Structure 1
Amino acid sequence: MISDHILLTLQVLPILPTLAATNLRQRISAFIHERTYQAPPDGHVKNVIVIGGSFGGYQAVKRLTKTLPTGYRVVLVEKNSHLNYVFAFPRFIVVKGHEQNAFIPYSGISKGALEGIFHHIQDTAMEVTERFVELKSGARLEYEYLVIATGSSSKLPSKVSSTESKYAQQELRGMQDKIRQAGRIAIVGGGAVGVQLVSDIKDFYPEKEVTLIHSRAQLLHSFGPRLRDLITETLTGMGVTLRLNARPDLSSETNTLKFWNGDEEMYDLIIPCTGQQPNSNIISTVSPASISKETSHILVKPTLQVMDDRYPYIFAFGDVAATGGPRMGRAAMFQADIVVDNIQQLIAGSRNLCVYKPKFWFEGAIKLTLGKNRVALYIQQENGQEILVDSNLGHEDGDVKSQWAFFGADAEELETRKI
């Protein structure tokens, strides 16, 4: 039987030439761009506004700084002072000493950007009109093209409420203290966040009584049986109590969970890990028909333009949009490339736009931490075959250093934060 390591290699190798060719094309384009772009004079610039600077938004802005022609600039509107590396949040609300590194400066975008092509505004976009973005500060930005990458909203351990790194770190530390002080803990929600959080708590605090509650019969129900079985075996082996097919009432502010079957359980700490709401309300005034009544996602065409034909210059992608692809950071970054290429085509006057075709096996691959050092990499191929690589090569800090490098942030600042 072929090992999963070999299957993974055989699966990835065929796409490497395509990825390399795309990267080379983008580098050549950026090289030419650096020698042809001229900073526009004040008052004579057309804005391409990107709302949202998480993984997909970051990629879109970074690419736009390397591709927009003279006369255009990209404006990033992002409420947070730093890019929130949310994948590390489950680990950093359990383990002290690394939480400051989950907030990555946006300096990587401006690094190397040509004069006049990039403008960063820390503010909250409140509303979109046909040609303007209204900000919470009262400012009004005119745009030629608009990219909505606002993602979704939720609470810790998935997201923080603070927009400044200093206070966001305090939120993580506050949860660390609650977990440390609690003896009996319930995690509600058996998705990726819930699974990682419960395994970290139990591994770092083996003496605690930890329960994972999930409304379905299977944890990580949207993935294949091999990953689900590994998760179940790992958690039960650690001593985590699993309560499946259970849906407690989370509306109470007490430490008692009431279940549909009438059961009641009291815990020292209850942490919900359920549900995320798309941040789609921003276009509810200009194009209410572009918001799904069922899911609240922004409806988009395969070109990632909003479904409303009146606004071919408005794009949406990532978790906020019904793209048809996986709701993963990797997928959002691929979608960002489609959006950027299509904006280039529209500026050039072409109607030959690119279409987003999800590569589910690649964009939907998942890497899960299962305690201090254990890491599981899972891919489900299009024919249904599963690849699962399980190792003990994880690090306490979640390999955050590599993410700072990926987002072009200053490694020296990363080291300074540890002092």
Structure 2
Amino acid sequence: MTIYEMKTVVVLGGAYAGARTVQVLSKGLPEGWRIVLVDRNTHINHVYVFPRLAILPGHEHKGFIPFSRLLDPTRHQDLCLHASVRSVHSSYVVLDKSFPERGVPTPELRFDYLVYALGSRLPAPLDLWGSSPKSGRASHKDAVVFKPYAGTKQEGISWLKTHQEVIKSSDSILVVGGGALGIQFATDISAIYPYKTITLLHSRHRLLPRFDEKMHTEIMDALLASNIQVILGERLDMQSILFADAIKLNKQGQRVARTLQGREVTADLILLCTGQKPNTHLLSAMDARCVNAHDGLAHVLRTMQLGVILSTSPPTPSNFTSESSTPSPSWSAFTSTSSTSSLLSPEQELENALAQVALAEKNVEIEESLSGLPMSEEDDDVLDSDLDGSDVAELSTPYPNIFVAGDAADAFGAIPAGHTAYYQGEVAARNILRLIQRSEPPLKTEISQDEGVLVTEEEEERLEHYAPGLPAIKISLGLTKSAYQANGVVRTADDGVPDLNAAAIWGYFGYEVEKEEDMYA
């Protein structure tokens, strides 16, 4: 059988959800099947450590991990393509280029199954693809567009180094957003540059309101001990910093930011840590019914198959071509999750009990490296009604061969996180294997020519269902200090390391680190 005759599972996005999907598929796909992993980055972006690397010099290279060892080397038919995605359709995706020498003769890449694991776009202070490291500076000259990042490791390192210089040269910094990302930025900057004036502005009266109030207390104590000025219950007037006719500078050349309540805060640098956006525009262009218009998340069934909320209106045509490329990985709170088939064991728990989940490889080290994924302020604003984990009664799927995992998925109240993505990718992969292993096609019930097909209740019961676990979080409060909540217990620690143990995650992606130089790959 030639590579052109092989059946294909396409995985879009190679970070936490995509990587786990590939690992599970690699061990179970039968002969005649191949995996094609597509990512616009040349290296996996380990975004958990990006806030620290964007401030503390000397560790930038540790956040970019080669894709080269993620795929099973014994499966020669599998491919990893460095490309951007232009559009998604029910049986193929369109890339920005072809790879004829690798069995992809045109930009149109057909699939039998698709896993959409494109995550969400990072907040501006960490958005390598969309913002300049200097964009928050008071000087208009510094606000010019930075040289575009094209997805290479060297460009990423350069971006982080530039961000470090911007932080170093700014005497006063306003951090907007009191989610975990904003808190980490504020406390890290204070730990490295204690002489700087740092202000944290948060729209809520409580930090991390989805967690125990003791988390708020511990974090506030750490912020005040670091001489960080904290303003709670006031929201930034975005016009005061984004619109040219409203931007105001004081005599010292500092930007004057204004809250909706009228308070003015001056700063040399403003870091907007106010939320990430799900990268679901490609799904929305294929079929607008697949994406929640309110929050941008993709509807999914418990099987992680792409879903729609059925209505009387016709579906959106699927021939729209987006000019946007494959998005970067997710950035949000650490969440301990498990699928219904996952078993936990005490020996696999972190010493701090943050993640009581069983990882397949290097459990403790990976848990430690993933445990500090910050949550943005907008994540805190999710309504409690969105977190009850209930199914949507009218949700079903015309696309039983398309799965969504990670930050892009509206996964029954699961907080977007590395471990969340990990288990969603695992469920998606196992269900694909179940469908492939059947001797007959998936059971379908015809609705109409316009509405497509539905997966029957009987079919769904034969596939694995995903169920999120209780949320937990570990948040950095400086170079060594942290606070965390797991299973309703809030504790603090003072055992951190400057690079946040970045090397631990490399093994998860198949790249064992034996010495510091290995992470320059």
* TM-score, reference length from structure 1: 0.85
Q: 1:395: which partner in 2? A: 497
State the distance in 2 between where 1:147 and 1:168 align: 26
Q: 1:15: which partner in 2? A: none
2:167 equivalent to 1:179: yes
Change (3 A) 1:323 1:146: same
2:203 equivalent to 1:250: no
2:462 equivalent to 1:358: no
Q: Deviations over 1:346-398 (max 9, x none)?
A: 112263101111122xxx3222211011122321x3xxxx2123211100011
2:239 equivalent to 1:239: no
* Secondary structure class of the residue paired with 2:230: strand
1:253-332 correspondence runs (5 A): 253=242, 254=247, 255-308=255-308, 309-324=397-412, 325-332=414-421
State the distance in 2 between where 1:390 and 1:79 align: 38
Q: 1:121: which partner in 2? A: 81
Q: 1:73: which partner in 2? A: 34
* Secondary structure class of the residue paired with 2:69: helix
Change (3 A) 1:175 1:72: same
User: 1:107: Cα distance to partner?
Assistant: 2.2
1:113-192 correspondence runs (5 A): 113-116=74-77, 118-137=78-97, 139-161=107-129, 162=149, 163-192=151-180
What is the aligned counterpart of 1:344 among 417, 423, 433?
A: 433
* Secondary structure class of the residue paired with 2:301: coil
User: 1:343: Cα distance to partner?
Assistant: 0.3
* Secondary structure class of the residue paired with 1:199: helix
Change (3 A) 1:297 1:58: same
- Output the amino acid matched with 2:480: N
Q: 1:16: which partner in 2? A: none
2:64 equivalent to 1:103: yes
Q: In the alignment, is the contact (CA less than 8 A) between 1:108 and 1:410 conserved in 2?
A: no
151-160 or 193-202, larger mean C-alpha shift: 151-160
State the distance in 1 between where 2:222 and 2:17 align: 32
Change (3 A) 1:416 1:176: same
**Unmatched runs of 5 consecutive residues or more in structure 2:** 99-106, 130-148, 248-254, 309-396, 443-458
Q: In the alignment, is the contact (CA less than 8 A) between 1:157 and 1:193 conserved in 2?
A: no
- Output the amino acid matched with 2:513: A
- Output the amino acid matched with 2:257: L
User: 1:336: Cα distance to partner?
Assistant: 1.1
Aligned alpha-carbon RMSD (Å) = 1.8
2:184 equivalent to 1:196: yes
Q: 2:3: which partner in 1? A: 42
Q: 2:370: which partner in 1? A: none
Q: Deviations over 1:139-193 (max 9, x none)?
A: 1100000110110013444442131111111111111101111111100001111
Number of residue equivalences: 371
RCO higher in 1 or 2 (8 Å CA, sep ≥ 6)? Answer: 2
State the distance in 2 between where 1:375 and 1:215 align: 23
247-256 or 301-310, larger mean C-alpha shift: 247-256
State the distance in 2 between where 1:265 and 1:273 align: 16
State the distance in 2 between where 1:294 and 1:407 align: 34
Q: Deviations over 1:255-311 (max 9, x none)?
A: 221211222222111011011111101122332111111111100111111114221
**Unmatched runs of 5 consecutive residues or more in structure 1:** 1-39
Q: 2:509: which partner in 1? A: 407
State the distance in 1 between where 2:516 and 2:35 align: 27
Q: In the alignment, is the contact (CA less than 8 A) between 2:187 and 2:477 conserved in 1?
A: yes
* Secondary structure class of the residue paired with 1:87: helix
Q: In the alignment, is the contact (CA less than 8 A) between 1:299 and 1:307 conserved in 2?
A: yes
Q: 2:479: which partner in 1? A: 372
Q: Which has the higher helix share?
A: 1
Q: In the alignment, is the contact (CA less than 8 A) between 1:89 and 1:157 conserved in 2?
A: no
State the distance in 2 between where 1:292 and 1:394 align: 39
Q: Deviations over 1:27-52 (max 9, x none)?
A: xxxxxxxxxxxxx4222111100111
State the distance in 2 between where 1:113 and 1:56 align: 22
Q: 2:24: which partner in 1? A: 63
2:54 equivalent to 1:93: yes
Percent of aligned pairs with the same residue? 31
